[in-house]
Chain A
Amino acid sequence: MSVAENQAAAGRGSARAVAIVSSLGRFLVVAVTTYLGLLAVTFFIGRVIPIDPVLAVLGDRAPTAVVERTRREMGLDLPWIEQFYLYVKAALRGDFGTSVLTTNPVMSDIRRVFPATIELATLGTFIGAVIGVPLGVLAAVKRGSLIDQVARIVGLIGYSVPIFWLGLLGLVLFYAKLQWIAFPARLDVVYEYTFTPITGFYLLDAAIQGQWDVFYDAWRHIVLPAALLGYLSLAYISRMTRSFMLNELAQEYIVAARAKGLSERRIIWGHALRNAAVPMVTVIALSYANLLEGSVLTETVFSWPGIGLYITNSLQNADMNAVLGGTIAIGSVFIAINLFSDLLYRLLDPRTKTG
């Protein structure tokens, strides 16, 4: 390698390093401001909208002395900006107050219920990706064909259907009429007391412990809600896959590959899909984030003891600490997935490498 080439290579290397550092810097700024924004909004909801937060905690019959003391204890006599500072500090420690309903710290409640939501959303995204990606590829390759039309209709209905309604109809059909699945819950009552979870993901726990009867029971409970969430993400993933693939198939390297005489199969699955892989990862990550949110309604329908059900139960009991803690928990994961998929896109996409 000549000196000039070496220098050029070094230059490219440093340009790449600069690009990575600047992406990381941008990532940090965006992450910090977005999280502060989330906390600002929940602070606003919890402290500003209620006319008197003390009243919300104590009720209207508390003696004046108690009201005054509580006001000081809650830090409500401080200026707003200081209140917000204390709020952020507490949130960073994971302190979201105590749930009125369960009398536990909100954080420990969230830790208990979150695995159920993760298990459901993960299985849902898995179903959505496994079916959605091939469907989108086929729709793009056979553009205008029957399969393209079917994929389009399936996607449109997925965008338009109220998921809680579809869940209820699913229960009528698969639970009441056909009896293929179990009633809305996470496990049968029999297993609730004999089964000890390790990770909180029941399917995994049952498999680790070799309790296949529990595994089968957990599967019968999770399959319908997971399939529903899977359908939502399938609608999104297949539509985006189709669009990415159409984009790639119009590129010149496809023509070159055809001219080289490569098989159509290799061109589509090996070349085009591989180039669409980076945005696809982003889309799948985003659909995962959306499912975490979509779980609020699904969990209510299926009595699935995850964070969504926790939030709605707390809502019905006016338990604001729990509602806002749950909102921050879902919001944090949602934002994290958003940010990381964005960062991943910037780091992996060849076009942004030299940029």
Chain B
Amino acid sequence: MTASVVLSRREWLLSDRPASRLQARLGRAYVAWRRFSANRLALIGMLIIIALLVVAAFADVLTPYSPTVGDLKNARLLPPGAAHWFGTDDLGRDIYSRVVYGARWTLYVVILVAIIAAPIGLLVGTIAGYAGGWTDTILMRITDIFLAFPKLVLALAFVAALGPGIENAVLAIAITSWPPYARIARAETLTVRNSDYIKAVQLMGASPFRIVLRHIMPLCISSLIIRVTLDMAGIILTAAGLGFLGLGAQPPLPEWGAMIASGRRFILDQWWVAAAPGAAILIVSLGFNLLGDGLRDALDPRSGDQ
């Protein structure tokens, strides 16, 4: 590829008069990417998340031992070494293998929470914003009430009633984490609600349902994605906290929070049992925070770097 081709491709992407919808979209994506990739911390965050995805996908290949069946006779509570990189736990299971498989459960939780909570928030927010009046007042009152609750404690009470388990933990976290999304979706809706293109669609006879679904929701997506990414760390920490209290994933699932809880009994003598899963939580949460900050700065220039 010659330099002139690269340059012209760049010019094509940055053109002020895109000839097609595709060119305009690619151009916008290119600008956002340039802003994003100029931020070194954000790139590190993205690498961490990619690593998480890869590790979760290839957990079978990456692990030399079973995550659930240990060697009770020979490998109980061994310190980190060549055979077991992160040591072994009280049931003789390889902690490295368990941490790697734990990536799957972490992803499982954050993805499920996101696909439950974000659509609820989106729906409540866009309906409230578009309908206005009493609907808006009531929906937003409910949102504010949920926003004023302590999240972890409420999730705790929910799981206590529903019974411990990873699905119930997901449900409890989702119930407590949709309100910010509703707020964001409503704010975005209010800014476009009276714009000309919405009036045009109204004149064409589109139903309110169609307008909200096809013409308002897509505009809320990008700010919602940023917020969800920023919330991922909080979701992971809450899930790990529930796991630590014995309310999330149940043994023998290799969930990081539950692993820390089982390492707690040996913490003073065999610190490595709890150390590795906690470090994994820290790294992944950090990755989501860095990625979210970077996305916000790249896609939403208004917020600057404050």
Q: Indicate, yes or no, whether A interacts with B.
A: yes
* Interface, chain A (partner B; CB < 8 A): 30, 33-34, 37-38, 41-42, 45-46, 49-50, 156-157, 159-162, 164-166, 168-169, 171-172, 175-176, 242-243, 246-247, 289, 292-294, 296-297, 300-301, 311-312, 315-316, 318, 320, 323-324, 326-327, 330-331, 334-335, 338-339
> Complex formed: what's the CA distance from A311 to B155 in Å?
12
> Complex formed: what's the CA distance from A318 to B244 in Å?
17
Q: Are B267 and A171 in contact (CB under 8 A)?
A: yes
Does more than half of chain B's interface fall in helix, strand or loop, or is it mixed? helix
Of residues B150, B156, B260, which shows the largest number of chain A Cβ atoms within 10 Å of its Cβ?
B150
Q: Are A327 and B281 in contact (CB under 8 A)?
A: no
Of residues A46, A156, A292, A323, which shows the largest number of chain B Cβ atoms within 10 Å of its Cβ?
A156
B-side contacts of A162, CB under 8 Å: 237, 240-241, 244, 257, 260, 278, 281-282, 285
> Complex formed: what's the CA distance from A246 to B305 in Å?
10
A-side contacts of B286, CB under 8 Å: 156-157, 160
Binary contact track B245-281/A, C-beta < 8 Å → 1, others 0? 1110000000001001001100110010011011001
CB within 8 Å of A: which B143-191 residues? 144-146, 148-154, 156-158, 160-162
* Interface, chain B (partner A; CB < 8 A): 141-142, 144-146, 148-154, 156-158, 160-162, 233, 237, 240-241, 244-247, 257, 260, 263-264, 267-268, 271, 274-275, 277-278, 281-282, 285-286, 288-290, 306
Q: Are B245 and A297 in contact (CB under 8 A)?
A: yes
Q: Are A157 and B146 in contact (CB under 8 A)?
A: no
> Complex formed: what's the CA distance from A292 to B288 in Å?
25
Q: Are B274 and A168 in contact (CB under 8 A)?
A: yes
Distance (whole angstroms) from the CB of A320 to the closest CB of chain B? 7
> Complex formed: what's the CA distance from A315 to B233 in Å?
25
Q: Are A37 and B142 in contact (CB under 8 A)?
A: yes
Chosen A-B contacts, 12 in total, with CB atoms closer than 8 Å, are A160-B237, A160-B285, A160-B288, A243-B306, A289-B150, A292-B150, A296-B156, A311-B156, A327-B153, A334-B148, A338-B148, A339-B148
A-side contacts of B145, CB under 8 Å: 33-34, 37-38
Given known A-B contacts A34-B144, A169-B278, A164 and B241 have beta carbons under 8 A apart: yes
